[in-house]
Every structure is written in structure tokens, then in C-alpha cells.
Chains A and B, each alone.
Chain A
Amino acid sequence: MTLDAASVRAVAKKDFQDAVRSRLLWALSVLFILFAGGMAYLYTEIQNASGNELAALDLIFFLQSPVGLLIPLTGLLLGYKSVAGEIETGSVKILLSLPHSRGSVLLGKLFGRTGVLTVPILVGFAVAAVVVLALYPVFTAKYYLAFVAVTILFGLAYVSIAVAISAMTKSTSRAAVGIVSAFVAFNMLWEVIGYGIHYVVTLITEGDGVFFPGFANEAPTWFLFYQRLSPNGAFGGALTSALPRDSSFSEFFPSGDVPFYLADWFSLVILALWVIVPLYLGYLRFDAADL
């Protein structure tokens, strides 16, 4: 694989410029501002009503689930046309007549589209921070920033999945089917399949099939690891690694003496692999294809 930094930058810049001129970026920005700002407002209202002390950590906890849905949706939508769309219209001929390797093109697409996702994330969460600050005096910037950073990494992973799917087909309609499948697989089926595996395993080992493995400290380690293998699971784990141990997150995750693959930092590694592996697989297919 030939990668060239200048080439990647040129492609990413072109891709980002193209998106800035579309309504997509602006629509996404508005969506994220409404979402993050609205959630922050809602959160402060709940906290004020209950009289509990407000902490940025809890806001993060409050935001985590909806972010875990919003980022996959937007990331996949932003990426699925990135390569297949250029092949369909023929603009890929302009792109590849210039001295870009196919690897540089995919990496440039990944960064360009992630840029398009990062702008609304930053703007949205900045607005959320302002809302919290306006309504409540205490705000821990450090953890909040860590949350935003992990969210961007999470976005990078989903854009990578989408760009990879886009690079594996020459039709945007097939790419659309691909991203819908990916969304369903990672956001709905992963957990269910895990229960299925748990059922089979318990049926074999204990003679009695059980679907639900129990919460963090009861479930077998292989199941906890399986949960963290999905991009969404890795996102949750990576967040705990970025936040202090005593937050409300920790109770959902195994603590104390755990194997390295269940350590919080390892979730960051898994998330990083979700950035690298899909794109590499997409590259293998794209590089071998006749365009």
C-alpha cells in the first residue's frame, strides 16, 4: 500500500470543501446543537428539580446513550457515498487521474468525512457546555473534553466502516444496504447474538441454556469481552477509561482485578482497531477492483 501524506491531505481537503458547500454539514450542525444543547438543558432541569449536585460526569452519562445512536447514524450516512458515489458519477476518474494511490484516496476520504462529522460534534457540545455553565456554576472541563475526544474517535470508527463499505461496491444503493446492515448488526443484533452464544455455551457447559448472562460482575469474562468488541461496546469502555473510577459509569463495567482485555484502556485499542481494520479491508477490495 502506498500512502502519501500530501496526497491524503489534498483528498481530505477536497472532500471537506465539497461537503461544506452542501447543506449536509449545516443540517448536521443544527441537529447536533439542538441535540446536545437540548439534552444539557433537560439535564440541568432534572438536576435542579431533584436538588442533586450537578456534575459534568453525570451529564456525560446522560449524553452517552443518545450519542451512541446519533454518531453511528450520522457517521454511516456521511460515509456511504464517499467512494461508490464517485465511481457512480465518474468523478473518480478525475481523482485517480491525479497521482493519488487508492490507499491515499480512502484515507483522505476517512479524514475528510470525519472532519464533516467533527465540526457539528464540536459545535454541538460547545453549545451544551455553555448551556450547563449558564444554568449551573460547576463544570469539569477535563472530563467533558475527554468525552468529546472519545466521541470523535467513535465517529472516526463509524466513518471508517462506511467508507470501507462504500469502497467495496460500485453502487451507492448497495452501499446503502451495507450501512443499514452495519447499523442493525452493531446497534441491535450484537447484543442479541451475544445472548444466543451465551445460551449455547451454558447449554453445553451446564446442561441448562440461559440467555441473560447477568450484569458486569456476574457475567463471564468472555461475554464482557464480546460486548466490548463491537464499536458501541468499545465506545462505552473507552469512555470509562477517560473518566474517573467513581463515576456512575463504573458500576456497569467490571472493576478490580480483570484480564487485560477487559481493562478500560483496551477498549480504546478496540475502538482504534475499528478505525483501522474496516478501512484496510475496504482498501484490499478497492485496490484490486477494475474501476
Chain B
Amino acid sequence: MTAIELDGVTKRFSDVVALRNVDLTVRDGEIFGFLGPNGAGKSTTIDILLDFIRPTSGDVRVLGLDAQAESEAVRSRLGVLPDGYDVYERLTGRQHMEFAIESKAADDDAEALLDRVGILDAADRKAGGYSKGMTQRLMLAMALVGEPDMLILDEPSTGLDPNGAREMREIIREERDRGATIFFSSHILEQVEAVCDRVGILRDGELVAVDSIAGLRDAADQEMTLKVTVDEVTPAARDGVTDLPGVSNVITNGNTLSVTCDSDSKTEVLDALEFAGAEVRDFSTEQASLEELFAAYTTSEVSA
């Protein structure tokens, strides 16, 4: 069974196209990271999964059910941490939990779940007084009610400190190990790299890539930076490297050249230097950071 299946989904808001013909399959039991800059359409997609909004065209199935016609059945099997929500200020954390437990006809222990997310000591305080990080934890606890088949987490690390984000990832892994599918969105690739089996990248309402992080790296054919130290940087050596087709930038610093080039142009750079009479003393390569990789997909450089 597939956990999520979007088939040709388009969503138009009066004059804006938020999603354009999106096809997406999330497999049962995987941790799927849904990436894209703010405004790319991540929340729109999640809102469609939850039937908050309806697609202009296309089919959406969640846990094998029709996301619109069978939305209550879908949501009874989901745990959701929404984005841009507000808690019920006058209700305590415990009352929030009781509401979720009653709504899902579950028999969870509110205290055990609050303890699991680390806010048990705040259980009887009004949620209106919680910090953003605490409300995120409360929402996660509510999402865990009823051992859902799938967790949908929209920007879950919003407001969490690094320690909180780590705890969040631990819970995500535990839930996956229990057998749940995890679908979570983020605009920061680093956050998903540590936990995701696969990621999908959304750009301006279009799904530009779905792959593992390693697969994305290969597909992006990222440029790298090659640092070469030579005996002397002559104009001929510099020009020889700059003129290579795979090289986009050369910066000279003393006897060191920083060459930005395609990942398969390394040998050509070194050959060009030797051809110009320079003696290579040392060289190193730097792979593009995840941030650069993400930027490559979410700006127009790459499309897979």
C-alpha cells in the first residue's frame, strides 16, 4: 500500500497557481522529507492531504483512501503537527491531550505522551502561556495520540532549539520503527538529511526531484571547489584554467588557485596547470554543502 499518492494535482487560488500537476508517491513505512523554500507549495499540499483545501484538479489518496470523500477516516489514522496554528489559549496542555484522545476515540495516557515530548511538568498550565517550542511539543504529543499509521509534520522543528530538534528526530525514528510512515516538510535540507529515507523537492508549485539525498547529489551533478597550490601562479596558468569549459570561476590567493568547476573536470584542471608550466604541490576538493545542493534544486539551475 502507498501512504500518499498524488496524481496530477493542481491547485489554483484565484490568480495564483500554488501547485502545478504534482505527482507524488510516498511509500508505506518510509520517512519522507518534503522540501522547498517558503511559498513553494508545501503547506498547500499538506492542506490538501487533510482536506482543508480541495485541489482544482487531480486525485489524492492517503492511506489508500480518497482524501476528500473519506477525509474523516483518513484523519482518524493520521497524527498531524500543523504549521501556522494557534493553541486554545485557555485550555491546559492536559485538556488539549484529552480533546485529541476523545476525538480519536483512543485510550492513550495523556501524561505518558506529555512526558515523552518533555512537557509533563507544564501539563496543567494554560497552553496560552507556552513558549513556541512547548506548543510544538504539545502538538507533537497530540499527533502521537492513537498510534497513527502516518504522521504528517509541517515544519516540525519550528521554534525548537537544537536539543529539541534532536529529540524530535528521535521520536520520528521511534515512530518509524513502530511501523508508521512519516511525511514531514521543511525548508532546511540539513534537518531532513539526518532522518529521511527519501526527499521530494518542491519549487514554485512543481515537484522538481524525488530521491534519496545521495541520489540528489548525483543527479544535481554539483560543482565543486578545487584548491590547487602551485609553485607560482603565472598568467598563462591562470588563463589556461579559466578557459576550460567546465570551470566557472577561478580565484587566486598567493600560490593557491580556488577553482569552481564541474565534479568531473578535476583532471582537466590539473592537466591545464601542468601544460602551462606550473608545478602542482598540493590540491584538495570541497564538495558542495547541503545548502548549496538545496539551492541548486530550488533555484533554476537544475531540474531532474
Contact = CB atoms under 8 A, between A and B. Distances in A.
Contact of A98 (B54, B75, B126): B75
Given A90-B86, A94-B87, A99 B47 contact: no
Contacts of A98: 75, 99-100, 103-104
Contacts of B82: 90, 93-94, 97
B52 A7 contact: no
Interface string A1-39: 010101101110110011001100000000000000000
A177 B286 CA distance: 62
B52 A18 contact: no
A290 B44 CA distance: 10
A97 B75 contact: yes
A100 interface: yes
A89 B86 contact: yes
Interface string B152-168: 00000000000000000
Contact of B105 (A2, A6, A90): A6
B46 to A, nearest CB: 10
B88 A14 contact: yes
Given A21-B91, A94-B88, A291 B72 contact: no
B236 interface: no
B197 to A, nearest CB: 24
Interface in A119-157: none
Contacts of B91: 14, 17-18, 21
Contact of B95 (A6, A7, A17, A291): A17
B88 A7 contact: no
User: By CB atoms of chain B within 10 A, which of A7, A22, A96, A100 has the most?
Assistant: A96
Interface string B74-90: 01101010101111101
B50 interface: yes
B85 A290 contact: no
B103 to A, nearest CB: 4
Given A91-B85, A290-B54, A101 B90 contact: no
Interface in A78-116: 89-91, 93-94, 96-101
A13 B245 CA distance: 69
Nearest to B126: A21
Nearest to A89: B86
Contact of A2 (B72, B86, B100, B142): B72
Contacts of A7: 72, 103
A17 B127 CA distance: 13
Interface in B126-182: 126, 139, 142-143
A11 B72 CA distance: 14
A291 B53 contact: yes
Given A96-B52, A97-B80, A100-B103, A4 B86 contact: no
B105 A14 contact: no
A100 B47 CA distance: 15
Contacts of B13: 290
Contacts of A17: 91, 95
A291 B52 contact: yes
A9 B87 CA distance: 20
Contacts of B51: 96
B2 to A, nearest CB: 21
Nearest to B83: A93
Nearest to A20: B90
A18 B104 contact: no
Interface of A: 2, 4, 6-7, 9-11, 13-14, 17-18, 21-22, 89-91, 93-94, 96-101, 290-291
8 contacts: A9-B102, A14-B91, A90-B85, A93-B52, A93-B82, A98-B100, A99-B76, A291-B52
Interface of B: 13, 47, 50-54, 71-73, 75-76, 78, 80, 82, 84-88, 90-91, 95-96, 99-100, 102-105, 126, 139, 142-143
Closest 9 CB pairs of A and B: A97-B80, A99-B76, A89-B86, A21-B90, A290-B53, A93-B82, A98-B103, A99-B75, A93-B85
